[in-house]
Chain A
Amino acid sequence: MQTVTAGEVGSGTQRPAPATPPNGKAKAKAKAKAKAKLSAGARAERRLGWALCAPAVVVILAVTGYPIGYAIYLSLRRYDLRFPDDSKFVGLSNYGTVLTSSLWWQALAVTVIIAAISVAIQFVLGMALALAMHRALVGRGLIRTVILIPYGIVTVVAAFGWRYAWTPDTGYLSHLFGDSAPLSSQVWGISVIILAEVWKTTPFMALLLLAGLALVPEELLRAAKVDGATAWQRLTRIMLPLMKPAILVALLFRMLDAFRIFDSIYVLTAGAYDTRSVSILGYDNLFTALNLGVGSSLSVLIFLVVALVAFVFVKGFGTAAPGRESRR
């Protein structure tokens, strides 16, 4: 960040007025060396920058930071909504309750399974889809339009579609595996949940990968082909390594998103037959068990797990923290 920061010092205030060509990057870089110290103009720019960001930052802190802090506070208290007056500080005992409960570990396992399998399938299918779109000269716009529909559609709506598709008698898919009711067993329930998840979000994965594919130089692929590389070799030795940053970002996005899966499980199985995800468990704890203390410790634990996943991706795999200044 340091270099980028220095690179644009004063760019807003002391830019030479005459019509400069739009690509000010090189110019800004050259200026970086000239301006090592902060001028008054740069200080004013800083102040304006902070002032413009302040409303958004304050709102974000107020709407997320405060509730999270409050959740941590609640998680340290005994707080049953049926006996609100009987609330008191109990230290970490709510966490003990959650961490020794088989429900938590089962929900965590189900969530991890759903997230891992669906993201793996999405990656393979998304890659195939991206290649298909990349190669297709005709109909590329059509494909892009059509696959955006599953991604844009309301999750609950999609889940109802799948649910009725598998409902015995009603659904067009219900006789696919004989007379069984797929949504009333754990393995099949989870499979349908994964199917719904894959159907809905593979397009997003594909679009991210397609954008990454555009960065692979066509000449390189042609050269490899001339040298006798097979299609598979071109994919694994050239495309995938070059696309690694885009792939990691796509996987990170999808993992974090898959981890908070709630809507489709709620509609498809409502968490019955041991298909609860951690989000469903948290919801049940709040609205069925009415236990705010334990529910809040669940909230904090889920938050920590998600933070851990993000940390592993960013630090462990070297995923470029998305949204940083573009380095071109």
Chain B
Amino acid sequence: MTTVASTPASGAAGATGATGAGSAAGGAKARPRRPSGERNALLGWSVANLVIVALSLVPLLWLVSLSFKTPDSISDGRFLPRHWTFENYRGIFAESLFTRALLNSLGIALISTVLAVVLGSMAAYAIARLDFPGKGLLVGLALLIAMFPQISLVSPMFNLWRQTGIFDTWIGLIIPYLTFSLPLAIYTLSAFFREIPWDLEKAAQVDGATPWQAFLRVIAPLAAPGMVTTAILVFIFCWNDFLFAISLTSTERSRTVPAAIAFFTGASEFAQPIGSIAAAAVVITIPIIIFVLLFQRRIVAGLTSGAVKG
């Protein structure tokens, strides 16, 4: 874990350079050099930034610390462990309760993401490139559906799923995940696709490329970053879900990690297995951290796309 904890600095240093080159997300212009009179202000903002970094990371580091504490020192209230142990991690990975949940989480989130991005790309292509009545309405509705109160879907789905026999199955979670992943994909992808200079495809064909080559060599590389970003965002949202996961599953068969953590039990009924929960929490945070470190700029572009231009 120490490696993960230390990577933000190095990873972000690289990202800083990249951001300066082209912050497409914010569209910020390169500012001219500041006169020395503004150095103090700059220093002030830098201190503020340090505070922000600390506040953002402390609650996470606390979980990391808890996950390395030994059972007898877990309730000492100290921020850092006195004795370090890997026992909590060994414990959860020895339990099928956790490993199976990890598999469920990965599988369900990946399938939902692929479905959402494939269906969403078709719709977003049409929205960005073709003209037909009702497309503005479609994007607006997609966004509102993505912001929908999920509890409203839980009661009817719970009953429907029991009647159709898909309660506590993968498909029983993939369907509700589509309710937010597909609208999110349509919305984000159509914002990305609008930025693509589609005329290049024609230009390539004029220059002698076949339609297939034009698509493969020109359009696909232009569209891929938007699709990857969308896939990451959708995956994070599916990975994050808790309400559907605890409502529409009942066993290891399809329970995802966030739901499984809530059902962890300790040695006795009343002692919560804090160490195991913390370890599991750290494990499911790792993919998020990897995504953020690798794709920080793109994720920001995806999150803010459309919202500002709209």
Contacts and interface: CB of A to CB of B under 8 A. Distances in A.
Contact of B25 (A154, A211, A260, A321): A211
B53 A22 contact: no
Contact of B149 (A46, A207, A245, A306): A306
A148 B299 contact: yes
Contacts of B288: 149, 152-154
A256 to B, nearest CB: 4
A164 B299 CA distance: 30
B129 interface: yes
Contact of B199 (A22, A50, A140, A160): A22
B214 interface: no
Contacts of B138: 53, 57
B106 interface: no
Given A53-B135, A146-B56, A141 B75 contact: no
Nearest to A296: B155
Contacts of A74: 155-156, 159
Interface string A23-63: 11000000000000000001001111110110111011001
Interface in A287-324: 287, 292, 295-296, 298-300, 302-303, 306, 310, 320-324
A99 interface: no
A226 to B, nearest CB: 13
Interface residues of A, number: 126
A5 B131 contact: yes
Interface string B53-78: 10111011011001000000011111
Given A53-B138, A286-B247, A299-B153, A162 B59 contact: yes
Nearest to B233: A152
B131 A321 contact: no
Contact of B274 (A164, A213, A218, A257): A164
Contacts of A299: 149, 151-156
B12 A142 contact: yes
B303 A204 contact: yes
Nearest to A44: B130
Contacts of B127: 49, 53
B155 A328 contact: no
Contacts of B194: 326
Contacts of B74: 170
Interface string B220-253: 0000000000000000100110110011000000
A67 B31 CA distance: 52
Contacts of B76: 169
A321 B136 CA distance: 10
Given A52-B130, A146-B8, A250-B307, A140 B16 contact: yes
A11 B120 contact: no
A148 B243 contact: no
A112 interface: no
A171 interface: yes
Contacts of A160: 63, 261, 277-278, 281
A295 B155 contact: yes
A136 interface: yes
Contacts of A149: 8, 56-57, 60, 288-289, 292
B125 interface: yes
A164 B143 contact: no
Contacts of A136: 42, 45-46, 49
B27 A172 contact: no
A22 B149 contact: no
B28 A214 contact: yes
Interface in A67-81: 67-68, 70-71, 74
Given A68-B156, A71-B155, A260-B149, A283 B60 contact: no
Contacts of A100: none
B309 A302 contact: no
A170 B147 CA distance: 36
Interface in B286-309: 288-289, 291-293, 296-297, 299-300, 303-304, 306-309
B267 interface: no
B260 to A, nearest CB: 10
A195 B147 CA distance: 22
Given A174-B77, A259-B149, A322 B143 contact: yes
18 contacts: A17-B202, A50-B126, A52-B122, A68-B152, A142-B53, A144-B296, A145-B296, A146-B52, A148-B299, A152-B292, A154-B284, A169-B75, A172-B78, A204-B303, A283-B151, A302-B149, A323-B142, A326-B194
Given A60-B178, A306-B147, 12 more contacts: A17-B202, A19-B203, A70-B160, A135-B42, A137-B42, A149-B292, A156-B258, A157-B281, A172-B78, A262-B151, A286-B155, A292-B159
* Nearest 10 CB-CB pairings of A with B: A22-B197, A49-B132, A141-B16, A323-B139, A52-B126, A49-B130, A19-B203, A141-B19, A142-B12, A141-B15
